[in-house]
Amino acid sequence: DTRVDAVLPFVTNAQIGDATNEDFLGSLGVGNFDVCIVAIGDNFQNSLEVTSLLKELGAKMVVSRAARDVHAKFLLRNGADEIVYPERQLADWVAIRYSADHIFDYIELDEEHAIFEISIPGEWIGKTIGQLDIRK
């Protein structure tokens, strides 16, 4: 499959198979991985099944994708250790990125900290943060 060929330079091992099949998942040795990520598109039932199977097969940590809070609730009850909301995270990023013309990129580290890539005023170039006295 061309998708697997495309990721091979970036991953240690890539496999094609039915993740809802317990025998296939078992053959991967999921207990040997630090993290298993369940990022199945729009089929919530499959996400729920795979999340549960991974935990039953000894996965140390399962991170599952949810589209809604009710999905997160069921995924957490069925073995997910953490939940990600890609669509929500993208919406937050887009809102911040396009709400100001000087923000180029944004990475949220946690609820209180983030890293912003911004344009800087020309008069700041070549000066240290101490010389600029940014807090003022």
pLDDT of residue 58 exceeding 90: yes
| 11 shares a domain with 68 | yes
| 102 and 59 fall within a common domain | no
Whether residue 7 is found in the same domain as residue 71: yes
Q: Residues near 57 by Cβ (< 8 Å), separated by ≥ 6?
A: 22, 25, 26, 30, 31
Give yes or no: residues 97 and 80 share one domain. Answer: no
For residues 78 and 18, membership in a common domain is answered with yes
The model's pLDDT over 26-42, given as tens digits with 9 standing for 90+, comes to 999 999 989 999 988 88
* Total residues belonging to the chain: 136
106: containing domain: 89-132
DSSP assigned state of 118: E
**Main-chain dihedrals φ then ψ at residue 116, nearest 5 degrees:** -115, 135
| Residue 66 and residue 93 in one domain | no
Q: Over pLDDT 70: what percentage of the chain?
A: 98
Q: Is the whole-model pTM more than 0.85?
A: no
CATH number of the domain enclosing 73: 3.40.50.720
- Check whether residue 110 and residue 125 sit in a common domain: yes
Do 77 and 41 lie in one domain? The reply is yes
